[in-house]
Chains A and B, each alone.
Chain A
């Protein structure tokens, strides 16, 4: 069963605006990761945040983690057309690997 659930399922914004995606999960985790997938391609790792961390930054990306609410958010600032992709959260909780959500499809309008 899938642990992480992203919200919204789809998001369309204008270039230059900020995009926020949320992820909720059900059980205790060791870490939470965000991945990007361009159409027809493999997944690319964006950020890993561990359960004892609350916020992480990488370039235009900001990830927060609230373990009390079992939720995470991914913020992409100053969006670009190249950010158009699907974004997945994945939780690492046990030895059998990551559990992925269904993804948020982000469209950046020029």
Chain B
């Protein structure tokens, strides 16, 4: 199993551009989530999904959209990038829909720089 994969590894955007960060898992996990990590801030939850077709907002959802059309994929869309979205983005998954009760498996991260 590849586990949780994320693409791209690194991306530079200009303010106002849009892009999609990809996340995929091959473990048949129901729960998937997106976090951002900023220096000195730890990880903050952006959006999460407890199963295909179901998504919900986390702590810092503004400026981001998600969808979950399949169990495997959970893309994160930046509609109009802003410098404040410069961060490292991590995707994570866990076995059942009760993600907060379980071990999270993290991807390697995507480093995003918005100029």
A97 pairs with B58, CB closer than 8 A: yes
Dominant SS at the A interface? strand
Also in contact, A92 and B100, with CB within 8 A (given A1-B59, A97-B45): yes
Q: State in angstroms the CA–CA spacing of A30 and B101 once bound together.
A: 7
- The chain A residues found within 8 Å of chain B, CB to CB, are 1-2, 30-31, 33, 35, 41-45, 48, 88, 90, 92-103
Known contacts A41-B108, A43-B92, A98-B104; 18 additional CB pairs below 8 A are A33-B104, A42-B90, A42-B106, A43-B43, A43-B90, A44-B106, A45-B105, A48-B102, A88-B42, A92-B101, A96-B45, A96-B56, A97-B45, A97-B99, A98-B99, A99-B45, A99-B59, A101-B42
Nearest chain A CB to B65 CB, angstrom units: 17
Q: Which B residues lie within 8 Å of A42 (CB)? A: 4, 90, 106-109
Chain B contact residue count (CB 8 A cutoff): 29
15 contacts between A and B (CB under 8 A): A2-B41, A2-B42, A2-B44, A30-B100, A33-B103, A35-B104, A42-B90, A42-B106, A42-B109, A44-B106, A95-B50, A96-B100, A97-B48, A98-B99, A101-B42
- The docked-state distance in angstroms from the alpha carbon of A96 to that of B107 is 19
CA distance A103 to B42 in the complex (A): 6
